[in-house]
Amino acid sequence: MAVRPPTRASRAKCVLALVATLCPVLNAETEPTSALSLQETIQAVYQEHQDAVVRVKVATEERDENGEPKVSLLVLSGFFISEAGQVLTSHLPPNETTRVWIEQKGISYLADVVGTDARTNVALLQVISLPESFDYIALDDSKETDPIGSFAFAITSPLDFNPTPKFGLVAGFESHFAEVEFPLTYTRLSIAIGPAEGGSPTFDARNELIGIVMATLPEVNSSYIIPTKALARIVTQLAEIKRVRYGVLPIQFEEKADAYNIAKRVLVKSIVPGSPAERGGLQAKDEIVSLDGAPIATLNDLRDHIFFKDPGSFLLFKVKRDDKELDFAILLEPDEDHIQKPSAPQAEDK
C-alpha cells in the first residue's frame, strides 16, 4: 500500500491535537512567566522599592576661560542601603565635588561623601538630615548571580522624573570589555541606561537586589552592574577606610582554547622580571589549574577570586606545566604599596 504524505488539513488536525494535549503542561510550566505574572512582578518590585530610590545631585565649582567661577551640575541615581541614611550612587571624585545632595519626593537633603572608588564607579554617601520616611535596600553578601536569561528589573531616577521601572534580562558575564580589564566579573543586562540613571538598583524576579548600575553600553542597549556580593564588600571598605583595597600580582594572564579547541584554559602570559613570582619559579605559559583550591576555568573565575582575596595574603597557585602539576604561593601585594610617592624636591643651583 502506498504511503501518502499528510494533507494540509490532516497536518492541522495533528497540530491541534498535540497542542490540546500539551496545553495543561505548558500552562503549568509557563504560568510564572506569563504576561500577567511578569507585569505583577514588575509592579511588586517597583512598589516595594520606589521610596528607596533617590536622585543624586553634585555641584562642582570650576573656572571658565576668563577665570570666573562656574558651577556645573551632575545628576545621578542612587538608593538607600541602611536605616542610618547611607546611599549608594556612582563614583564622585571628592576633590572635584563642592556640594552633594539627594532628592526624594521633590525634597532636597544634604549629603556627605563617605568613600568613593573610581575603578568600580561606586560611591557611598551619608545623608545628613534624613527624610521623615524612606525605605532602604539591604545588601546580601551571600547573594549569587542569576543565570543568563533570568529576568532583571531596574528602578532608575532619570533626569527630573520620578523613580522609573525598567525591564530586561541577564545577558552575560564579563571581566573585561575590549582592552579594558575589570577588577571583577560584571553582569551585563539588556537594560538600556540613559542620562542620570547610573547608580540605579537592579533586582531579580524574586525581588532580591542583584546589583548597582555602573556603566552603560549604548551600542547594544545594555548596561553593566556590579553584583550584590561584590557590592557588599565594596561598601564595607568604603564605610571603614573610605576606599577599596585591591591586591596586585606581578603577573599577566590570558585565556586560550585548549589543544582540542573544545574548552578554555587560563595561562600565565607574562611575569614582571625579578618579581617574587618569577623568583619563586612561576613561568610564562603555565596553565592555572586552581587558586586556593578553587578551580579556575576562565579569566572571570581568576579575577573574582583575586578580588575577594585580602591584599597582603598569599594566593596558592596550582599550575600545570608539561603534564605536571606544581604548587606556588604568591603574595597578593596591597595596591597602596605600588602608589608612586612624589620625589623629593631637588635643591636649586645657586
Please give the residue range of the domain that contains residue 330. Answer: 247-336
Return the C-alpha cell found at 350. Answer: 645657586
Q: Say if 64 falls within a structural domain.
A: yes
Rounded to the nearest 5 percent, the helix, strand and coil shares of the chain are 25, 40, 35
DSSP element (H, E) containing 189 = strand 180-189
Q: What is the pLDDT of residues 264-319, one digit of tens each?
A: 899 999 999 999 899 999 999 999 999 999 999 999 999 999 999 999 999 999 99
For residue 282, is it within any domain? Answer: yes
Q: Which residues lie below 8 Å from residue 210, measured CB to CB, with a gap of 6+? A: 143, 145, 146, 152, 170, 187, 202, 203, 204, 225, 227, 228
CATH of the domain at 308: 2.30.42.10
Positions in the chain short of pLDDT 50: 1-32, 341-350
- Per the domain annotation, does 116 fall within a domain? yes
Q: Are 135 and 79 in contact (CB under 8 A)?
A: no
Contacts of 304 (CB under 8 A, 6+ apart): 175, 184, 185, 230
174 within some domain? no
Instruction: Please state, in angstroms and rounded to a whole number, the distance separating the CA atoms of residues 195 and 77.
Output: 9
Decide which of 84, 111, 127 is a domain's last residue: 127
Q: Does any domain span residue 95?
A: yes
Query: Per residue in 55-85, pLDDT tens?
Result: 999 998 877 777 777 888 999 999 999 999 9
Residue that is last in its domain, among 84, 100, 127: 127
Domain final residue, candidates 63, 93, 127: 127
Residue 69: the pLDDT is 77
CATH number of residue 109's parent domain: 2.40.10.10
Whether 344 is covered by a domain: the verdict is no
Radius of gyration of the chain, Cα coordinates, nearest whole angstrom = 26
Alpha-carbon separation of residue 219 from 174, 198, 202, 223 (angstroms): 16, 16, 21, 10
Q: How many domains does the chain have?
A: 2
pLDDT at residue 31 in the model: 47
How far is the C-alpha of 317 from the C-alpha of 288, rounded, in Å?
A: 7
**DSSP letter for each residue of 231-293:** HHHHHHHHHHHSS---EE-SEEEEEEE-TTSSSEEEEEEEE-TTSHHHHTT--TTPEEEEETT
